Amino acid sequence: MPIYIAAATSAAVSATPDPSGLPGSNVLQQIVNGADAWALAITLLGAFVGAGLWAIASHTSSHHYAAKGRMAAVVSAAAALVIGAAPGLVNFFAHLGSTAK
């Protein structure tokens, strides 16, 4: 008995992101904007605390805490870079994905 595999017809599927497509989308955008502001404020606070710890520990010859403060300042700066670049990165990869066939 032969086995037949039905050829699936490829239907064209598409998606077009529309911020106003669902109810409450403006609220979601406000939540994203607020979370972005909070994340940047937290990274700023982390940079302040890290730089302060770095400065105080350097003057008191506490090399271990100076290194921890320096790391906190650098990680906070990197986090701010990622937070700021995130919308552009998401848009870049969404556009790149939409060009795939």
Which residues, 6+ apart, have CB-to-CB distance to 43 below 8 Å?
A: 76, 77, 79, 80, 83
**Mean pLDDT lowest among 17-31, 38-52, 67-81:** 17-31
Residue 14 lies in a domain: no
The answer to whether residue 12 is domain-embedded is no
Pick the residue with more confidence: 94 or 1? 94
Residue 55 covered by a domain: yes
Does residue 10 fall inside a structural domain? no
Return the structure tokens found at 82. Answer: 């990622």
> Is the residue at 91 inside a domain?
yes
Interval 34-39 mean pLDDT: 96
Tell me the pLDDT tens digit for each residue of 4-24: 555 555 678 777 888 888 898
Count of the separate structural domains present in the chain: 1
Does residue 24 fall inside a structural domain? no
CB 34 within 8 A of CB 18: no
Average pLDDT for residues 27-46, to the nearest whole number? 95
pLDDT of residue 48 exceeding 90? yes
Q: What is the pTM of this model?
A: 0.74
- For 91, the domain range is 40-96
Is 66 domain-assigned? yes
pLDDT reported for residue 20 = 83
Q: Is residue 11 part of a domain?
A: no
| The pLDDT value given to residue 31 | 94
Decide if 72 contacts 44 (C-beta within 8 A).
no
